[in-house]
Amino acid sequence: MEALIQSLIQGVLLGGLYAAIGIGMSLIFGIVKLTNLAHGDFLILGSYISLVVTSTLGISPFLSLIIVVPVMFCIGFLVQNTMLNRVLAKGAEPTLMITFGLSIVIQNLLLYFFTADARNLKSSIALKSITLSDGIRIPVIYLIGCIVGIVIILVLGAYFKKTYQGKAIMAAADDLEVAQLMGVNTKNIYALAMGISISTAAIAGVLVGVIYNFYPTSGSSYLVIAFAVVVIGGMGSTYGTLAAGFIFGVAQVLGAHFFGAQAQLLTGYVVLLIMLIFRPQGLFSR
Amino acid sequence: MKTLVGDKSNIIKFIILVIIIAALFLLPSWGNQYTVMFFMLVFMYIGLGQMWNLLAGYAGLVSLGQQIFIGIGGYSLAVLSNYYGVPLFLGLIIGGLIAMVISIGLSYLLLRMKGMYFAVATWITAEALIVIFAGWKFVGSGNGMFIYAVRGMPTSTIYYYSLIVAIITVIIVVFLLRSKLGLGLIAIRDNDSAAETSGVNIFKTKLYCMMISSFLTSIIGGLFYMSQVWVQPYAAFAINWTIAGMFIVVIGGIGTVAGPILGAIIYVFLNQYLAQFGGISMIILGIIAILVILFASKGILGTVQDKFGFEILSARRHSDRTFTGKPIEELDSSNL
Amino acid sequence: MSDYLLKAEDINAKYGDFHAVQGASFDIKKGEIISVIGTNGAGKSTLMKAIVGIMKPSGGKVYYKGEDVTGIPTHKLVEMGLIAVPEGGRVFPRMTVLDNLIMGSYTPKARKNRDQALERVYSLFPILKEKANQAAGSLSGGQRQMVAIGRALMSDPELVLFDEISLGLAPTVIKDIYATIRQINKEGLTVILVEQDVKRSLKMSTKAYVMLKGKIVLEGNSQELTEEEVKRAYFGI
């Protein structure tokens, strides 16, 4: 019983992290209506940039975000502005293929510069945990991951609700042409949205890098998580993404609890496929 | 049904085609080992590209899961020949049929999805297969399987098989597009709902494409692992297969028949040539693909065809699928 | 040139091979109401798209306040006081009525006077104040049209382009909306009406242009044009 509770707690905590992994992808799907197949690779790129920053400056990975986030924002902005915006009008395939191409390029650049060795971001927090009872312990880093995920979602929610820029992004998602008619520079808005999306991916990347080992090819497994969260939550729904994170986290951990650690991945895939088949619009679609 | 041979220029084209094919059939008797290997790979990738093109370029199904069938082909061959002593040739065919049956099942589940949902679902299915095969003792778990029967088989045999498969894929695509099925495909590509009301059974048309594509892709997978001798889950079900197919088609020209042939030659050449630079080969491949999509969205052949107005291996009734997006009629001129 | 607030000269616009607008010219003075009349597909909305920069004209010139504004981005034109009310009461359906209106004041210039503009819109359409926090997509057609008009007024405009505002609305609603347009015109706004409704647009406007198959086939002072004459040009008979 305690083991089950431990699993459940872990699943919920994992859920916040998953939401952080998926929120950027959900945004881009909802706003720009494109599927970023390089989302996971951008996330891992964030982990590696943090690795470089922490090792050169000797600061904590969390502090490195001050540098990592702006850098990743610019990368996202530029990718959208110089590449994706050019082919948006030509249908879904070109953007799919460009992001695919980016995924290959990022993975192999990382492989070239950092080799295939396992890396991680070192933080003293990684080993600490809070003991609730004999069998139930909460690893502090998971708690942080969960809280950061929730905070990202809340901040974004407020940004979209309260600021002109955020409203313009939502308006562009609702009706692009009318947003343009109201004086919104939509090409810029898309680039901005991609910048934000990639920034959240980078934050998730740093969290993931502290919790797990990462490799240049780790991106694809995070892409799967992002997909799952996006599909379960309903594309483009901010709070749906958070709920979906929890559902997916708990489902995975329960899968592992009942069918063994091997099943964790498979449970995830199966849940995702079932969702895709039976309710592709998501559980919480607007 | 029209034939390849029509007016005079077509006769010349036909003769050139025959000469090229004859030369390729004779290649093992005069070419060196490297050349034979090179073209063997080109043929496999032509088939892979054609079959991805059939789905993405013609049927509007952007699959990210062609590796499902590559893996099924490789593993079927290994299991059938290792455990049941089935001859390799038969193993290839049975593998193809197994893949076809799987594709029918998948079609019923996945074909009602649109666009990116279909893409993701096919890819996730492949990822799930990696996990399943890597944990399945019967197929050697993560270590995979050796195909013992292949030992001692001359490369030229696999070469001939590959050449024939490549030719079959090209012929199938050409004739398919001129058939009633092809007409249905074009109707679907241009307008799903209009095609439906005019009596095209969209599901069936797409299903047939899936079946054909899976059958031949599986045989290519079998052939590839005949040449590799060892099939292993992480490689056999890897997304790289779809990347390769996509690269070949996009570079060559999506929705053209000759495009994937050109694309396959470029892909294998770049892969072999860039191999000496180690890790950066994939980086360059990725960058080339992005640049082509950005600046020559019809691929090399599509762009050349547009400029000079000719077409090699025409599958008339339109084979100029481009990335120009919506047809003009859909741009409602009356809305602000 | 400077008498005109907006002047379009020999505008051409194409969708691929389809030549939707073929050499259309019109002009409007400050304080005027003009109407551009035509059937569905006559090219009038394409012409408007070319004017407001949603679409690049393939030929011709647009002058606004004496400046050549041909092909400049829409957001620049909005800042210069030119705004369009899109056809069919197109609102941002998932955003609230209030947020829709606020999006109207997106340009820096309009943001400053936002509260004042909002008061004015609420006084024109009191129902919008009641429904301020509802999703705009949940409103009736007429109310959505009010949101679209209110949103345009929020931008502190000088020239408003109304695209087929009467389309699909009940006659009484249309009457109210037209009364509102007349009122804001009296307060100094210049108005372009793009319409299919011949009678009503002739009554409202000082000058009328009739479009057919991409060309302007008839123009004149609205009072001098007879309904018969316009209808013949309208249907091309």
| pLDDT computed for residue B333 by the predictor | 34
Determine, yes or no, domain membership for A286. Answer: no
| pLDDT computed for residue B327 by the predictor | 35
CATH classification of the domain holding A34: 1.10.3470
Best residue in A165, A182, A186, A190 for a mutation probing chain C (most C CBs within 10 Å)? A182
ipTM: 0.90
Residues of A with CB under 8 A from a CB of C: 164, 167-168, 170-171, 173-175, 177-185, 286
Of B328, B331, B336, nearest to C48 by CB-CB distance is B336
For residue B46, the SS3 value is helix
* DSSP per position, C41-108: TSSHHHHHHHHHTSS--SEEEEEETTEE-TT--HHHHHHTTEEEE-TTT---TTSBHHHHHHHHT-SH
Element (H, E) at C27: strand C18-29
Give contacts of C74 with chain A, Cβ < 8 Å.
180-181, 183
| pLDDT computed for residue B318 by the predictor | 42
| pLDDT computed for residue B324 by the predictor | 37
**pLDDT tens digits along C58-84:** 999 999 998 999 989 999 999 999 999
| pLDDT computed for residue B80 by the predictor | 96
Reported for B329-332, long-range contacts at CB under 8 A and 24+ positions apart, including other chains, are B331/C15, B331/C16
At a CB cut-off of 8 Å and minimum separation 6, what does B5 contact? Answer: B11, B14
Nearest CA in chain C to B331: C15
Which percentage of chain B shows pLDDT scores above 70?
86
Residue A283 neighbours by CB distance under 10 Å: 15
Best residue in A97, A231, A264, A277 for a mutation probing chain B (most B CBs within 10 Å)? A97
pLDDT digit of tens for each residue in chain A (286 aa)? 788 888 899 899 999 999 999 999 999 988 888 889 999 999 999 999 999 999 999 999 999 999 999 999 999 999 999 999 998 887 777 888 899 889 989 999 999 999 989 999 988 887 888 888 877 888 899 999 999 999 999 999 999 999 999 999 999 989 999 999 999 998 899 999 999 999 999 999 999 999 999 999 899 889 989 988 988 887 767 888 999 999 999 998 988 888 887 788 888 888 888 888 888 777 776 5
Burial class (CB in 10 A: 0-12, 13-18, 19+), B252: buried
Rounded to whole angstroms, the Cα distance separating A158 from A142 reads 24
Q: Which residues pair with C26 in a beta bridge?
A: C8
| pLDDT computed for residue A105 by the predictor | 92
pLDDT over 60 at B321, yes or no:
no
Mean pLDDT of chain B: 84
Query: What CATH number labels C1-81+159-166+190-237?
Result: 3.40.50.300
Rounded to whole angstroms, the Cα distance separating C122 from C110 reads 16
Determine, yes or no, domain membership for A44. Answer: yes
Paired sense of beta strands C4-15 and C59-64, if any: antiparallel
Q: Is C46 on the interface with B (CB under 8 A)?
A: yes
A266–B132: do the CB atoms touch at under 8 Å? yes
First to last CA, chain B: 45
The answer to whether C189 and C155 are in contact (CB under 8 A) is no
pLDDT band at B332 (very low <50, low <70, confident <90, very high): very low
| pLDDT computed for residue B334 by the predictor | 34
**pLDDT tens digits along B265-309:** 999 988 888 777 766 777 888 898 899 889 887 888 888 877 776
| pLDDT computed for residue B301 by the predictor | 84
Element (H, E) at C197: none
C18–B328: do the CB atoms touch at under 8 Å? yes
In the numeric block, the tokens 């809280």 are attached to A147
Burial class (CB in 10 A: 0-12, 13-18, 19+), C26: buried
Mean pLDDT of chain C: 90
In the numeric block, the tokens 């044009």 are attached to C225
pLDDT band at C145 (very low <50, low <70, confident <90, very high): very high
C194–B328: do the CB atoms touch at under 8 Å? no
| pLDDT computed for residue B310 by the predictor | 63
Average pLDDT for B54-60: 85
The answer to whether B202 and B208 are in contact (CB under 8 A) is no
Give contacts of A170 with chain C, Cβ < 8 Å.
92, 94-95, 99
The answer to whether A248 and A268 are in contact (CB under 8 A) is yes
Number of domains within chain A? 1
pLDDT band at B193 (very low <50, low <70, confident <90, very high): low
Distance from CA of C160 to the nearest CA of B (A): 14
The answer to whether B214 and B252 are in contact (CB under 8 A) is no
Determine, yes or no, domain membership for A88. Answer: yes
The answer to whether C175 and C60 are in contact (CB under 8 A) is no
Of C74, C84, C95, nearest to A171 by CB-CB distance is C95
| pLDDT computed for residue B303 by the predictor | 82
Where do runs of H (alpha helix) occur along chain B? 8-30, 33-53, 66-84, 88-110, 115-134, 155-178, 180-190, 192-197, 202-228, 233-236, 240-252, 259-274, 280-295, 299-308
Positive/negative CA dihedral, A34, A264, A241, A38: negative
Phi, psi of C9 (to 5 degrees): -120, 115
Rounded to whole angstroms, the Cα distance separating B206 from B202 reads 6
A269–B246: do the CB atoms touch at under 8 Å? no
pLDDT over 90 at B145, yes or no:
yes
The answer to whether A193 and A167 are in contact (CB under 8 A) is no
Rounded to whole angstroms, the Cα distance separating B226 from B161 reads 11
Structural fold of domain B31-322: ABC transporter involved in vitamin B12 uptake, BtuC (1.10.3470)
pLDDT band at B335 (very low <50, low <70, confident <90, very high): very low
Q: Please indicate whether residue A93 or residue C231 has the higher confidence score (pLDDT).
A: C231
Q: Which of B272, B278, B247 is nearest to A101 (CA)?
A: B247
B283–A262: do the CB atoms touch at under 8 Å? no
Best residue in C15, C47, C77, C90 for a mutation probing chain B (most B CBs within 10 Å)? C15
pLDDT band at B331 (very low <50, low <70, confident <90, very high): very low
A101–B121: do the CB atoms touch at under 8 Å? no
| pLDDT computed for residue B274 by the predictor | 75
pLDDT band at C147 (very low <50, low <70, confident <90, very high): very high
For residue C25, the SS3 value is strand
| pLDDT computed for residue B5 by the predictor | 46
The answer to whether C77 and C113 are in contact (CB under 8 A) is no
Residue B207 neighbours by CB distance under 10 Å: 17
The answer to whether B223 and B92 are in contact (CB under 8 A) is yes
For residue C29, the SS3 value is strand
Paired sense of beta strands C215-221 and C59-64, if any: unpaired
Q: Which chains touch C (3 or more CB pairs under 8 A)?
A: A, B
Nearest CA in chain C to A185: C75
